[in-house]
Structure 1
């Protein structure tokens, strides 16, 4: 029987061709590329030992690719990508609701994966898998609709049209806004990653809870300005493009902070 690790590599190769034009790929790769550019020397060396010569962007979408796996090995990971919280107007209430949630979520799993990576008793194979998930899930954290309402599954049940195409609010934010800019992930990362050292330090400050609340506040604004059956086009891009680009940049810089702290 093939090991889980062997299945992981096989599925990555298959999915890379099948999903080469699927939405969501560019955003995660932008975040991973920005993070790579801000790794400390020690973190870069340790990650290379674990991951080989591939850049972080190479692995950034694998946790989405495995959703197509039919063996059931990865089924339990589907709930790791989001944390649904009804709108909270202050950080104290948000944090209380966040910590009261039962079961695995984006919040709990980022902490669990970080612990696994840090633990020297974790096998080399499991540390690598944990790191791949962490790279991806820190990207999910910065996508506002991954911290959206439970009643509409983070915008998945809010129907909209985007330039005449029927879709949903979650999908617009997962990839359509990003892909509308027509940049490669390396181009986009280079264009966005222009903050000063002091600005980077400020963006990387705070806790995991602070960062999730940051995304949650943006999700609340998106909900308020995108009701069901909205017709979205250039005006929506104009309204939210800066926000989308901010989240890509912040996601990358905060991923770098997490990785530098771990290694």
Structure 2
């Protein structure tokens, strides 16, 4: 092997080591949770908004909102969407400055780089019928995803642990992190497929008049502060999952209700 080959091999090894050491990518609720929010919201929108949603979904070659609910995460693993992924990476969350959970846009959402501003921005784009359909389809994809993100408490916390990614815990005897637990383990502990789970949650719709994404994010932040989300002993057991599950289910219902209302106001 020539010297140049050795250099390229060592560089490749260094890059692989760097990638392996990176913390896992945060995905609020995991794919199932996002689909559940979208499914519940689609059943709550009014007929006029529903017709426009179906038209846009047809352009996206999708049959339901649940089919596009994870697109904003999926672009991260698509080489063709690398620039879009980088441009929207900071739009999945908001980091509050402290435990007061007060939204100060100049301090924590500079240049609109947070989930709160993203929701408002993509709602405006979706509602602008002078824009090309392709742009409005992407706006719908982002909006469905980001509303769910705002309701995942660890996407709107105030601690310096990257939304729980750096908060190490023990789960079933293995090492994990708090964000991974909230991604999927709490919902997964019910051992239901996402559609059956959504059907069960849909039996109790939360009628919520809270329309401001700022309030949604501040509410999520207060959950991380007040509701025992951070286990003191850093051990996740079945009791923790069962204690947190009603909070998760309530947040998914809230997200669905608020997304449906937002789509109605945007598309009617």
State how far apart, in whole Å, the 1-side matches of 2:212 and 2:106 are. Answer: 13
Equivalent residue, structure 1, for 2:231 = 226
SS in 2 for 1:160: strand
Note the residue ranges of structure 1 that are not aligned, 5 or more in a row: 1-22
The aligned runs of 1:194-209 (5 Å cut-off) are 194-195=203-204, 200-201=206-207, 203-209=208-214
Work out which of the residue numbers 132, 135, 142 in structure 2 matches 1:123.
Answer: 132
The aligned runs of 1:16-27 (5 Å cut-off) are 24-27=30-33
Q: Decide whether aligned partners of structure 1 residues 224 and 69 sit closer, same or farther in structure 2, where only a CA change above 3 A counts.
A: closer
**RMSD value, Cα:** 1.9
State how far apart, in whole Å, the 2-side matches of 1:168 and 1:41 are. Answer: 42
The aligned runs of 1:225-244 (5 Å cut-off) are 225-227=230-232, 230-244=234-248
Given the two structures, how large is their TM-score scaled by the length of structure 2? 0.81
The aligned runs of 1:175-186 (5 Å cut-off) are 175-186=184-195
CA contact (8 A) 1:87 1:220 kept: no
CA contact (8 A) 2:34 2:66 kept: yes
SS in 1 for 2:44: coil
Given the two structures, how large is their TM-score scaled by the length of structure 1? 0.82
Equivalent residue, structure 2, for 1:152 = 161
SS in 1 for 2:79: coil
Work out which of the residue numbers 60, 63, 76 in structure 2 matches 1:67.
Answer: 76
Work out which of the residue numbers 255, 262, 268 in structure 2 matches 1:258.
Answer: 262
The structure that has the greater radius of gyration is 2
State how far apart, in whole Å, the 2-side matches of 1:150 and 1:232 are. Answer: 19
Q: Decide whether aligned partners of structure 1 residues 36 and 99 sit closer, same or farther in structure 2, where only a CA change above 3 A counts.
A: farther
SS in 1 for 2:76: helix
Summarize deviations over 1:85-128 as a string: whole Å, max 9, x none.
133336xxx13x24543131101111110111112222110100
State how far apart, in whole Å, the 2-side matches of 1:118 and 1:206 are. Answer: 16
Length, aligned pairs only:
232
State how far apart, in whole Å, the 2-side matches of 1:183 and 1:224 are. Answer: 23
Work out which of the residue numbers 71, 85, 98 in structure 1 matches 2:96.
Answer: 85
Q: Decide whether aligned partners of structure 1 residues 47 and 85 sit closer, same or farther in structure 2, where only a CA change above 3 A counts.
A: same
Equivalent residue, structure 2, for 1:39 = 45
Summarize deviations over 1:52-111 as a string: whole Å, max 9, x none.
261100110111111112342222111110001133336xxx13x245431311011111
